[in-house]
Amino acid sequence: MQLVLSGDEAVARGALDAGISGAFAYPGTPSTEIMEYVQDNLAAYVAGLPEAERGKIVAQWCSNEKTAYESALGASFAGARAIVSMKHVGLNVAMDPFTNSALVRINGGLVIVVADDPSMHSSQDEQDSRVLADFARVPCFEPSDQQEAYTMIRQAFGYSEQNEVPVLMRLTTRLSHARAMVQTGSPRLPAPKPKSNDPKSWILMPAMARGRWKLLLEKNAAFRRDAEAENTLQLRSTKLGVIACGLGLAYYLENETDWVAANGGASAQHSSKGSQRDGATPGEAPSLLRITRYPIGHDKIRQLAAHVEKLLVIEEGYPFVEREIRGVFGAPVPVMGKLSGEIPLEGELTPESVRLALGLPAHEELPPAGIKVPGRPPQFCQGCPHADSISALQEALAGEADFYVASDIGCYTLSALPPYRAVESCVDMGASIGMARGASCVGQKKAVAVIGDSTFYHSGMTNLLDAVSHKTTLTLLILDNSTTGMTGAQPTISPTSQLPALLQGLGVERDHIHELISLRKYQDENAAVIRSELAYEGVSVIILKRECLEYLKKARKA
């Protein structure tokens, strides 16, 4: 079937066509649409299965990436294929199960899809998940376009089962969020294996873990060989060897014809349209090594280096392949890339940056506008409940000289921008509570943490338990909008009505749990409650409730 799919959707379609029984995730841009696609297509998927299998298929949002990962791992233990998807920083949260699951004997295929966000379109850093796959010693697949995203994830499930190892598939924003035509293949129905009957390979106590680690290191030689076989080499021009990783290939091909023309090729006719993807154009185009699998082998790189005058490494994220090629003793030919500065070290690849790195002149441009074009930063939706909650907090703090407002990750982080400028830190999921607590411990007055409901369930609860146990003075504002707003209003893991009971269960005193409605007309009253709790020496929690507008819109549509 021919479909138009984004990279995220292609991965999801591929996972369904690979016969998954479980999909688990926590929302995070640019990975969210993977789970959304699976959920949107689940009914049709399940309807196509034999009666007996239908009750055993799930696609679930989870509390966080770690819980999602562990569910997928359990599904694998039980014999089923499972996918777990997240954004790059989500893998930090799931790092414990990720690195350790590399040692167990994977049963049902387990694929972790991680969407990196170079340029930080919607993230707080631009870490490169290939490095983390390497750290865990697991194979990493990196598609170069939507079609490959579909095909590769299907292969990844098979590879995971054959090698009894989790496979990490890495996407980046421009692949995740770009749509192109994808040809799908015939689906494989779920065919769960029997449950694992090998506890020795799943119980990572030191004596057993040592054996498993040794085995994993041995398997790495095979991973390298397999990657080498998949990464394709075309020896052509001797002037330049291009090493293109993942999506980097698209930016190279965008400019290939012009490179050929600029380097004396009479070749416009063979190398036009950038269709060298399959089928070589011998002669004029640069020699090309395409990398879509890691850990990389070294033979093809040596062959390429022996054939050309210099190398250019094009990769999204860190100079990961480039560093491996350079080594300590240097490469036999000059290597250009992010470390040598031909391609910027920070930010995503662009067709322009790759063009310049290929030694081509920039396309001619019109002069920019003669007046200053101010940026237009994101803002709260008109009528967003967070705006009213933040205003109430600011009113409560008015006149205070010494306070600290720690924020967390969600739409409310926008209160860092004018006109509010209401918060002083935003680092990682759940950090607001831990940071406010730590500051309070060392003498900070009026330490306030601001967190959304979804982020609180994700990583806030354990920090709150620390505060309760140590009787830290802390005022916590939970902005409860019933949803994960910033990623497009996915359901939170627990309903609003359960929150006070949960807080009490964690040990917060009933008298210091307040439930307020966040509306402008209640601002003064809400501010008064916050002010009185700011004076309390102990843990207080103020829940400011009102639904996210996007969530209401979505609910109306459904």
Partner 1 sequence: MNYNIILAGVGGQGSLSVSVVIANAAMKAGLQVKQSEVHGMSQRGGEVLANLRLSDSQIQSPTVPRGMADLVLAFEPLEALRYIPWLNKERGVVVSASQPIRNIVDYPEIDSVLAEIRHLPRFRIIDADGIAKAAGNPRAANIVLVGAAADLLPIPISALESAIDEIFARKGEAVIQANRKAFNDGKTQFGK
Residue 548 interacts with which of ligand SF4, partner 1, none, CB < 5 to 8 Å by class:
ligand SF4
383 binds partner 1 (CB under 8 A): no
- Which of 202, 320, 380, 457 binds ligand SF4 (CB under 6 A)? It is 380
The H-or-E segment that residue 169 falls in is strand 167-172
Angstrom CA distances, 492 to 23, 240, 483, 556, stand at: 17, 52, 5, 17
- Which of 346, 364, 511, 537 binds partner 1 (CB under 8 A)? It is 364
Where does this chain touch partner 1 (CB under 8 A) — which range of 132-140, 154-162, 251-259, 439-447? 251-259
User: Could you tell me the smallest distance in angstroms from the CB atom of residue 195 to partner 1?
Assistant: 39
Cα distance between residue 459 and residue 451, in whole Å: 10
User: Residue 129 or residue 481: which is nearer to ligand SF4 going by CB?
Assistant: 481
Interface of this chain with partner 1, residues 432 to 471, rule: CB under 8 A: none
| β-strand partners of 82 | 22, 110
Interface of this chain with ligand SF4, residues 445 to 484, rule: CB under 6 A: 481
354 binds ligand SF4 (CB under 6 A): no
User: Could you tell me the smallest distance in angstroms from the CB atom of residue 412 to partner 1?
Assistant: 11
Residue 296 interacts with which of ligand SF4, partner 1, none, CB < 5 to 8 Å by class:
none
552 binds ligand SF4 (CB under 6 A): no
- Which of 51, 365, 402, 537 binds partner 1 (CB under 8 A)? It is 365
| Cα 475 off chain centre by | 31
CA nearest neighbour of 36 among 490, 529, 520? 490
| Cα 213 off chain centre by | 27
CA nearest neighbour of 477 among 404, 390, 418, 358? 390
381 binds ligand SF4 (CB under 6 A): yes
CA nearest neighbour of 183 among 217, 216, 155, 147? 147
550 binds ligand SF4 (CB under 6 A): yes
355 binds ligand SF4 (CB under 6 A): no
**Per-residue DSSP letters for 477-522?**
EEEE-SEETTTT-EEPSS-GGGHHHHHHHTT--GGGEEEEE--GGG
Written as one letter, the residue type at 184 is T
Is there a contact between 331 and 340 (Cβ–Cβ < 8 Å)? no
- Which of 61, 150, 157, 251 binds partner 1 (CB under 8 A)? It is 251
Cα distance between residue 89 and residue 86, in whole Å: 8
- Which of 43, 44, 369, 558 binds partner 1 (CB under 8 A)? It is 369
Is there a contact between 316 and 171 (Cβ–Cβ < 8 Å)? no
Cα distance between residue 487 and residue 532, in whole Å: 34
Where does this chain touch ligand SF4 (CB under 6 A) — which range of 98-106, 108-116, 140-148, 544-552? 544-552
| β-strand partners of 516 | 544
- Which of 50, 327, 370, 399 binds partner 1 (CB under 8 A)? It is 370
Is there a contact between 25 and 46 (Cβ–Cβ < 8 Å)? no
User: Could you tell me the smallest distance in angstroms from the CB atom of residue 250 to partner 1?
Assistant: 5
Q: Are strands 232-234 and 286-291 parallel, antiparallel or unpaired?
A: antiparallel
Q: Cβ–Cβ contacts within 10 Å for residue 376, how many?
A: 6
The site that binds partner 1 (CB under 8 A) totals a number of residues, namely 55
Residue 275 interacts with which of ligand SF4, partner 1, none, CB < 5 to 8 Å by class:
partner 1
372 binds partner 1 (CB under 8 A): yes
Kindly write out the interface string for residues 334-363 of this chain, putting x where it contacts partner 1 by CB under 8 A and - elsewhere. ----------------xxx--x------xx
Residue 447 has phi, psi (to 5 degrees) of -85, 125
User: Residue 4 or residue 501: which is nearer to partner 1 going by CB?
Assistant: 4
Cα distance between residue 358 and residue 347, in whole Å: 18
411 binds ligand SF4 (CB under 6 A): yes
Where does this chain touch ligand SF4 (CB under 6 A) — which range of 85-93, 162-170, 423-431, 548-556? 548-556
User: Residue 303 or residue 353: which is nearer to partner 1 going by CB?
Assistant: 353
Where does this chain touch ligand SF4 (CB under 6 A) — which range of 70-78, 154-162, 258-266, 546-554? 546-554
Q: Cβ–Cβ contacts within 10 Å for residue 394, how many?
A: 17
Cα distance between residue 540 and residue 543, in whole Å: 10
Kindly write out the interface string for residues 115-134 of this chain, putting x where it contacts partner 1 by CB under 8 A and - elsewhere. ------xx------------
Cα distance between residue 3 and residue 271, in whole Å: 27
Q: Structure tokens of 389? A: 């909650």
Q: Cβ–Cβ contacts within 10 Å for residue 342, how many?
A: 18
275 binds partner 1 (CB under 8 A): yes
Q: Structure tokens of 183? A: 């040809």
User: Could you tell me the smallest distance in angstroms from the CB atom of residue 289 to partner 1?
Assistant: 17
178 binds partner 1 (CB under 8 A): yes
* Residue carrying the six token digits 């392949």: 321
545 binds ligand SF4 (CB under 6 A): no
Question: Where does this chain bind ligand SF4 (CB under 6 A)?
Answer: 380-381, 384, 386, 411, 481, 485-486, 548-550
Q: Summarize as ranges the residues that interact with partner 1 (CB under 8 A).
A: 4, 29-30, 32-33, 121-122, 173-175, 177-181, 247, 250-251, 253-254, 273-275, 277, 350-352, 355, 362-382, 411, 414, 418, 486-488
